[in-house]
Amino acid sequence: MTREKRLLLALPALSAVALPVAGQSQEKGGSKPYNIVYIMSDDHSYQTISCYDGSLNRTPNIDRIANEGLRFTNSFVTNSISGPSRAAMLTGKFSHKNGMTTNATRFDSTQVTFPRLLQNAGYQTAIFGKWHLKSEPGGFDKWDVLVGQGFYFNPVFIVPEGRVTREGYSTDIITDLSLDWLEKERDTTKPFCLIIHHKAPHRNWMPDTKDIDLYEDMTFPIPDNFYDNYEGRPAAAGQEMSIAGDELDYAFDLKLNSEDIRTRLKLNLDFAIKRLDPMQRKEWDRVYDSVLTDFRNSNLTGKELAEWKFQRYMKDYLKCIKSLDDNIGRVLDYLQENGMMENTMIVYTSDQGFYMGEHGWFDKRFMYEESFRTPLVVRMPDNASEYGKRGDVTEMVQNIDYAPTILDLAGVHVPNEMDGESFLPLLTGKKVKNWRKSLYYHYFEYPAEHAVRRHYGVRTGRYKLIKFYGHDIDNWELYDLQNDPREMNNIYNHPSYAKVQKELHRELVKLAKQYDDPVEKNPIQN
């Protein structure tokens, strides 16, 4: 498509011109314009996706997307937390530019987003599931989203007319809504962009009753840095997201439901399980009453207690992943059975990565690898032969690239104001010059839950430089990811890395300037 045509498609007043063409090809299940099905979960670690790491569990349906398409092995976020990540994904911009710096911020949903641009170009756009941006969704023909974080069981949704409670399990319901829209509601003469945002596997990891017995007999390996002492890393030492500590709440997170276990988040557990209907509650109590009995009888302390907590955390988390993977399979089957694989791009990702006990943690936020990275698998439309690459994409991509990529595939002009880049050129089989060699990151949410200090940084193929700043901290960290992939040794000011350190400082200043982050005005050179 020529640049002129792309510009025309992007103009709202002319969008009708594009529709008859779009309709013809859609009816035949032909090629352009391509549809987009974008599936994103909440807090899904790549460690628990078998096409990335098969040591913990199996995810055959997510693997199927990778096996028939692409697995991105260097996929990252810009700010590892829910609302900011969602805003970066929608706008193609860093947090300081789209305004959504923390979960406490309200997203201005009137700004330019890829769904709005697609809508203007004649696409039908829909979003189901988690929104978590406080404002009403904008740029969607259809939206049906969870209230805030949402509930796992019998959740409440917001629709333009008000609130509606739906019976069942959130991952099933969000998939049902999405498939119903595809089957019954969408205008089949138009191309579409369907966004499916799951609540799972967010804390407090409440499994569906059908999966509630899974993994109960399994023992998962403890990560080799589970007992990290955080030497040389004051921000890591100061976090409050330790599995061994009280932050992994005995009531809310471990589901020990007893009047004598009155923890900080006990009321959250009461609130969550009150939503279960009698049948759901019967299954719930059968499993978690038995866990409570085991907890009381074993009378654990110290390392044994920490490892018992780790095992409970892993079991509940992985139970939620089972339902997620099953429901992704339902979407793939629908698209396959309806001849839509030819002209539909399918994306699966998470709003960020997550710790599965590495450094002793659950949660995210840090620029360390487990939460800076995010899984990304993509199945390109079969008819998009110009993007014929399959297998691994090893270049560094970031969630700000999703909007430009999707617009590029749709033939819609990518606004210059977006920070991200379309990664479609990486899929053509031709060598791409000038693809980014470094990534920028900035996390803002402190003081807040989990006490992760504000930080920004740069990551290259081999090294990472991080500055923790504000309040009670002012500290640099430097890692050699080749020699220290677990990021245990802060080598900042180590003489043998002096040259690397200087280059990374220069790169960080360059990126802050390139992305207009005001942090550049601060004295970030030492």
- Tell which one of 43, 208, 325, 419 touches Ca ion (CB under 5 A): 43
Regarding 351 and contact with Ca ion (CB under 5 A), the answer is yes
From the list 3-11, 39-47, 134-142, 478-486, the region that binds Ca ion by CB under 5 A is 39-47
Give me the least distance between CB of 132 and Ca ion, in Å please: 8
Q: Are 226 and 310 in contact (CB under 8 A)?
A: yes
From the list 38-46, 128-136, 230-238, 424-432, the region that binds Ca ion by CB under 5 A is 38-46
Give me the least distance between CB of 86 and Ca ion, in Å please: 9
Regarding 42 and contact with Ca ion (CB under 5 A), the answer is yes
Binders in 79-98 for Ca ion, by CB under 5 A: 82
Q: Classify strands 463-468 and 344-350 as parallel, antiparallel or unpaired.
A: unpaired
Closest CB to Ca ion among 102 and 460?
Answer: 102
Closest CB to Ca ion among 198 and 467?
Answer: 198
Closest CB to Ca ion among 41 and 91?
Answer: 41
Q: In what order do the strands lie in the sheet with 124-129?
A: 162-165, 156-159, 142-146, 124-129, 192-197, 35-41, 344-350, 376-379, 70-72, 391-393
Closest CB to Ca ion among 42 and 401?
Answer: 42
Give me the least distance between CB of 498 and Ca ion, in Å please: 37
From the list 36-44, 71-79, 94-102, 306-314, the region that binds Ca ion by CB under 5 A is 36-44
Q: Classify strands 192-197 and 124-129 as parallel, antiparallel or unpaired.
A: parallel
- DSSP states of 267-331: HHHHHHHTTS-HHHHHHHHHHHHHHHHHHHHH---HHHHHHHHHHHHHHHHHHHHHHHHHHHHHH
Regarding 445 and contact with Ca ion (CB under 5 A), the answer is no
Give me the least distance between CB of 405 and Ca ion, in Å please: 21
From the list 104-112, 295-303, 351-359, 440-448, the region that binds Ca ion by CB under 5 A is 351-359
**3-class DSSP state of 523:** coil
Q: Classify strands 124-129 and 397-398 as parallel, antiparallel or unpaired.
A: unpaired
Closest CB to Ca ion among 130 and 233?
Answer: 130
Binders in 146-185 for Ca ion, by CB under 5 A: none
Give me the least distance between CB of 372 and Ca ion, in Å please: 13
Regarding 401 and contact with Ca ion (CB under 5 A), the answer is no
Closest CB to Ca ion among 202 and 505?
Answer: 202
Q: Are 204 and 272 in contact (CB under 8 A)?
A: yes
Give me the least distance between CB of 233 and Ca ion, in Å please: 23
The whole-angstrom distance between residue 51's C-alpha and the CA centroid of its chain comes to 17
Closest CB to Ca ion among 351 and 487?
Answer: 351
From the list 13-21, 257-265, 287-295, 343-351, the region that binds Ca ion by CB under 5 A is 343-351
Give me the least distance between CB of 348 and Ca ion, in Å please: 15
Distances from the Cα of 349 to the Cα of 26, 273, 284, 380, 398, angstroms: 26, 28, 29, 14, 11
Closest CB to Ca ion among 344 and 371?
Answer: 371
Nearest partner of 384 among 2, 30, 9, 21, judged by Cα: 30
From the list 8-16, 40-48, 278-286, 415-423, the region that binds Ca ion by CB under 5 A is 40-48
Within 8 A by CB and 6+ apart from 325, the residues are 59, 60, 61, 62
Give me the least distance between CB of 454 and Ca ion, in Å please: 18
Taking the C-alpha atoms of residue 422 and residue 473, their distance in angstroms, rounded to an integer, is 36
Would you give the DSSP letter of residue 472?
Answer: T
- The two tokens of residue 431 are 């060598």
Give me the least distance between CB of 148 and Ca ion, in Å please: 13
Closest CB to Ca ion among 82 and 399?
Answer: 82
Task: Using CB under 5 A, count the residues that bind Ca ion.
Answer: 4
Q: Tokens 């840095």 correspond to what residue?
A: 225
Binders in 218-237 for Ca ion, by CB under 5 A: none
From the list 5-13, 41-49, 89-97, 432-440, the region that binds Ca ion by CB under 5 A is 41-49
Give me the least distance between CB of 352 and Ca ion, in Å please: 5
Give me the least distance between CB of 492 and Ca ion, in Å please: 29
Torsion sign (Cα): 484, 488, 492, 493: negative
Binders in 63-82 for Ca ion, by CB under 5 A: 82
Give me the least distance between CB of 119 and Ca ion, in Å please: 26
Closest CB to Ca ion among 79 and 111?
Answer: 79
From the list 42-50, 147-155, 367-375, 501-509, the region that binds Ca ion by CB under 5 A is 42-50
Amino acid at position 184, single letter? K
Q: Tokens 């013809």 correspond to what residue?
A: 24
Taking the C-alpha atoms of residue 128 and residue 118, their distance in angstroms, rounded to an integer, is 17
Closest CB to Ca ion among 42 and 316?
Answer: 42
Closest CB to Ca ion among 45 and 501?
Answer: 45
- DSSP states of 66-131: HHTSEEESSEE-SS-SHHHHHHHHHHSS-HHHHS--STTS---TTS--HHHHHHHTT-EEEEEE--
Phi, psi of 391 (to 5 degrees): 100, -145
Distances from the Cα of 387 to the Cα of 38, 293, 349, 454, angstroms: 18, 55, 20, 39
Closest CB to Ca ion among 211 and 351?
Answer: 351
Give me the least distance between CB of 371 and Ca ion, in Å please: 9
Q: In what order do the strands lie in the sheet with 463-468?
A: 438-443, 455-460, 463-468, 475-480
Q: Are 426 and 395 in contact (CB under 8 A)?
A: yes
Chain residues binding Ca ion by CB under 5 A are: 42-43, 82, 351
